[in-house]
Amino acid sequence: MNAIRFLQTGLVLVACTVSTSLMAQYQWVDKDGRKVFSDRPPPTDIPAKDILKQPPARTRMPAQIAPVIADGADKSSAGASAPVGSASAPKGSGVDKDLEAKKKQAAQADQEKKKEAEEQAAKAKAENCARAKQAKATYDSGIRIARTNEKGEREMLDEAARAAESKRVQAIIDADCK
């Protein structure tokens, strides 16, 4: 039983080693200066000095063994000796369209949040302005005004306190009512 388990484990390790060695990993710097990681070679417009990492060169398969390309024509029947995969590999620009779409959507969501926050701030400012104008009208009316002090006692505002409160409310009006 242990021999079978040992054999299975060995086969899994060999399969993993072989599969990871077959995976080609490329790394290059694109036109915008961003690092790009891919399992496909970089576009032809990327200079060799900007290619940071590429898999070791593999031997090419003979034309007779080459796989069928995307249009269904066999390379051996076409008589071409072009590198394998050059005709079937899509020409990518190195830009992930899904990633770009998600970035654009995130930017729009951020703009909407900022706009909503600005609207709420403007609404709060308008409410503060209305309250301040109402308080100013109350202080300027000359009626008796009472307030509760720190001890919880009710006290009437004298003329000096009324003038100080009127001045404070006027500063709020100047700030919020533009």
Per residue in 94-115, pLDDT (tens digit) is 678 888 899 999 999 999 999 9
Sign of the dihedral defined by the CA atoms of residues 50, 54, 57, 63, in that order: negative
Burial class (CB in 10 A: 0-12, 13-18, 19+), 3: exposed
- Residue 108: inside a domain: yes
pLDDT tens per residue across span 45-54? 888 888 888 8
pTM over 0.75: no
- Residue 141: inside a domain: yes
- Residue 56: inside a domain: no
Rounded Cα–Cα distance for residues 24 and 15 (Å): 16
For the chain, the domain total comes to 1
Domain region containing 111: 98-176
Long-range contacts of 124-128 (CB under 8 A, 24+ apart): 125/176, 126/176, 128/172, 128/176
pLDDT score of 14: 66
Burial class (CB in 10 A: 0-12, 13-18, 19+), 145: middle
pLDDT score of 82: 46
Scanning the structure block, which residue is given the tokens 């080693």? 17
Q: Residue 92 contacts by C-beta under 8 Å, 6 or more apart in sequence?
A: 38, 40, 43
| Identity of the amino acid at 20 | T
- Residue 29: inside a domain: no
- Residue 106: inside a domain: yes
